[in-house]
Amino acid sequence: MIAKKYDASKDKQFQILDQNGKVVNEKMEPKLPKETLLKMYKTAVLGRNADIKALQYQRQGRMLTYAPNMGQEAAQIGMAASMEPQDWNSPMYRELNTLLYRGDKLENVFLYWYGNERGSIKPEGVKILPTNIIIGSQSNIAAGLAMASKIRKTNEVTAFTIGDGGTAHGEFYEGLNFAASFKAPVVAVIQNNQWAISTPVRKASNSETLAQKGVAFGIPYIQVDGNDMLAMYVASKEAMDRARKGDGPTLIEAFTYRMGPHTTSDDPSIYRTKEEENEWAKKDPIARFKTYLINKGYWSEEEDKKLEEEVLAEINDTFKKVESYGANVELIEIFEHTYAEMTPQLKEQYEEHKKYLEGVK
């Protein structure tokens, strides 16, 4: 088991690609098909550019608050690529690349951050729950969903992600403790991007690593170079296989970095230095993976330039479409998507607010 060989409590971090895109752990390099590797890279490029454009749209007053993912592409896609179609994601709010890789539409993502409830409606067959804004709630939801899968014997695994600051919240422990106690098929990934808004990870936890919090649950744990797409895939795949066999959860700490602000309401220059940002920029997960693909003969600079043009056109066209209808939200849509059918309480709330709005007019 990788988690035993790379013991986070003994300062061992799992890595396959170094920051220059060189394979430094040949024995652990996964034998993934060229098509899969290219899908991983193209998703990352789309996600990175969509992040940059979303920031611009928000600054132009064309989108509401947005949570960028820049720098965390490998942590998200490496995990997503290890999942089977029947598996579930219980996502946090910073999960763009996971959503895109697993089949959600960029249009839905933009709609969500545009303030339209329809953005949470996933395409048929895409097993991703709506975004969790309440910190840590995705842990309990994942544990419950995984337990249901175990009881029903559906061969499904549920993966949830959480930030470094989120591991200080009670629901993170409650969910994982339940999953561990009942050996529910859960994979937990901490996206340690070093900052919980302006709180550095050293203040969020006194633990040497976040991975070793797995000791308390009695489950395997591992710290992975979260900017290494291959290492994230291999560690996540082992965890998924283990959960699917009935051996319970695994805790993965993806050691990565948030390149942009926490959200568009944040200014990271207030609490972190340019020197720190520049050092992490050298470890850019996309640049690293691009070099790896070029060295394997799977990619070229010419193809890269063409891809950049294609994704920018796709992003612009998608957002224009969202702008054309995204603001047309009916009042009932705010209430009708929580349950399969509206509860009496929701119906009452809807009628009350409808009456209020009619009075305002």
Show which residues are catalytic.
258, 262, 271
Report how far residue 302's alpha carbon sits from residue 48's, in angstroms, rounded to the nearest whole number.
Answer: 19
- What are 253's strand-pairing partners? 190, 223
Residue for token pair 């600079």: 301
Residues whose CB falls within 8 Å of the CB of residue 142, separated by 6 or more in sequence, listed in order: 88, 90, 158, 159, 160, 175, 179, 186, 188
Q: Report the C-alpha gap between 6 and 15 in whole angstroms.
A: 9
Residues ≥6 apart with Cβ < 8 Å to 287: 21
Exposure class string for 261-291: b at 16+ Cβ within 10 A, else e: bbebebebeeeeeeeebeebeebbbbebbbb
Answer yes or no: are the C-beta atoms of 115 and 59 closer than 8 Å.
no
Name residue, tokens 């568009």: 264
Q: Which residues, in sequence order, are CB contacts of 134 under 8 Å at separation 6+?
A: 171
